[in-house]
Amino acid sequence: MKDTPFSDLTLFITGPTYVRPQVRQAGMLPEFGHRDTENTKRFEPIMNNLKTLAGVGDDHRVIIFNGSGSTAMEASIRSLVADGETVLNVSVGAFGDLYHKMAVVNGKKAVQLKFEPGRAMELSALEAAIAEHRPAVVTITHNETSTGVTNDIVAACQAIRKSGALALVDGVSLFGGAPAMIAESGCAMYSTSTQKSLALPAGFGIAFVTAEAVDKAGKVQNRGHSSDILGQLGRAGKFQTLTTPNCTLANQMCVELDYIVNEEGVANRFARHVAMRDMVAEFVAGLPGYSLFAQEGFRSATLTTVLVPTGVSVKDLKAVKEVMRAKGYLYDPGYGKLNEQFEKEGRQPIFRIGHMGDITPSMLKAYLKDLGPALPKA
């Protein structure tokens, strides 16, 4: 193969994530016709294994969107919020803000409930917002990638359902690394994607939808084409995608999901992520002046955010990125817009450590050993 200028770095960012060699190799499997029986050989096990990983049964249907988690999220807005209805967007960070932006730019009557970065959703505040705005639909982020906060979506969705509203959940950076709690929460639609805790290249959005969502979509006008969950479900019922899929990614996804469900095991995968979260917490505890940023009790199993000492700047964190690149890693100096906000407010920035997907404890241990000396001293 001709030499390329590309670096083969081990990714410890929060997506895209490290892809195992076996999954890279699966990208060499043959293309196939997406309306042919060869398609079913890929997408039937893909959809069945996604249900196993999600912990759901036949009362939930799976949609594979061409695009990303954002594609699935926007489809939930287009398909499940009717004109004139109020949608309440709960935000604990940048991606909760994104859900709100999607509602606004699609012309929906949207209101927002925002929490301080690093803090989880507070149930009493959610209940008060629901009582005030009486939304027909509420969106919430399960795992906020910008801050490393995991919300209690079971409690949140129970409050939402009690009010009679539909709950839509963004689970993009959690699904595949921790329990999605889809059935337990009773959410109407749960959106995620391939390039984070599933340890696959980007290219597919994924949604789990209930009969309640299907019924509601039938009452919503102007759902679009690829954003119409009813149109998507027509093909999903045949183990197909509505539009031509990325066949290379489908081959990789089929191989990876079989590995997750039938080799590593779902419970073992989730336990590995918790163990890695604990490893990072111990690492941070040993760094003078550094501390965990996300609220205790709501810290993500798939990524950790770290608050730096006084005097360490965003520029310093970006310099660490280049030091770690020279060591063969891709380091995450923090979510850019959030750190810009913190600097303007005179607050210290944060950086992130992604420990999701197929990153192993031994890989993480080696990374942390190299990262410690590269970080600025307090």
CATH of the domain at 364: 3.90.1150.10
Q: Which residues contact 302 (CB under 8 A, 6 or more apart)?
A: 14, 143, 173, 174, 177, 178, 196, 197, 273, 277, 354, 355, 356
Both 141 and 55 in one domain: the answer is yes
pLDDT-derived band at 265 (thresholds 50, 70, 90) equals very high
Average pLDDT over residues 23-36: 96
Both 127 and 270 in one domain: the answer is no
pLDDT-derived band at 2 (thresholds 50, 70, 90) equals low
pLDDT-derived band at 248 (thresholds 50, 70, 90) equals very high
- Collapse the DSSP code of 61 into the 3-class scheme (helix H, G, I; strand E, B; otherwise coil) and give the result: strand
Tens of pLDDT, residues 285-302? 999 999 999 999 999 999
pLDDT at 371: 98
Number of domains in the chain: 2
Q: How many CB atoms lie within 10 A of CB 36?
A: 10
Q: Which one of 242, 262, 282 terminates a domain? A: 262
Average pLDDT over residues 213-234: 97
In a domain, 1, yes or no: no
Both 228 and 100 in one domain: the answer is yes
Bridge partners, residue 351, by sequence = 306
Average pLDDT over residues 68-80: 98
Both 300 and 184 in one domain: the answer is no
In a domain, 156, yes or no: yes
Tens of pLDDT, residues 182-202? 999 999 999 999 999 999 999
Both 198 and 294 in one domain: the answer is no
Both 270 and 247 in one domain: the answer is no
In a domain, 138, yes or no: yes
Mean pLDDT (the chain, rounded): 97
In a domain, 5, yes or no: no
Q: How far apart are CA 151 and CA 121, in angstroms?
A: 6
Q: How far apart are CA 213 and CA 342, in angstroms?
A: 38
In a domain, 3, yes or no: no
Average pLDDT over residues 236-262: 97
Phi, psi of 358 (to 5 degrees): -105, 15
Rounded to 5°, angle at Cα 156 from 96 and 55? 95
Which two tokens mark 267? 């419970």
Residue 330: which of 3, 5, 6, 8 has the closest Cα?
A: 8
pLDDT-derived band at 378 (thresholds 50, 70, 90) equals confident
**Residue 328 structural domain:** 10-14+265-374
pLDDT-derived band at 7 (thresholds 50, 70, 90) equals confident
Both 79 and 171 in one domain: the answer is yes
In a domain, 134, yes or no: yes
pLDDT at 52: 98
Both 67 and 205 in one domain: the answer is yes
Both 249 and 155 in one domain: the answer is yes
In a domain, 226, yes or no: yes
Both 331 and 251 in one domain: the answer is no
Q: Which one of 232, 262, 292 terminates a domain? A: 262
Predicted confidence (pLDDT) at residue 1 exceeds the cutoff of 90: no
Q: Which one of 239, 262, 285 terminates a domain? A: 262
Torsion of CA 52, 281, 336, 207, to 10 degrees: 10
Task: Give percent of the chain above pLDDT 90.
Answer: 98
What CATH code is carried by the domain that includes residue 50? Answer: 3.40.640.10
Both 128 and 153 in one domain: the answer is yes
Both 190 and 286 in one domain: the answer is no
Q: How far apart are CA 103 and CA 358, in angstroms?
A: 33
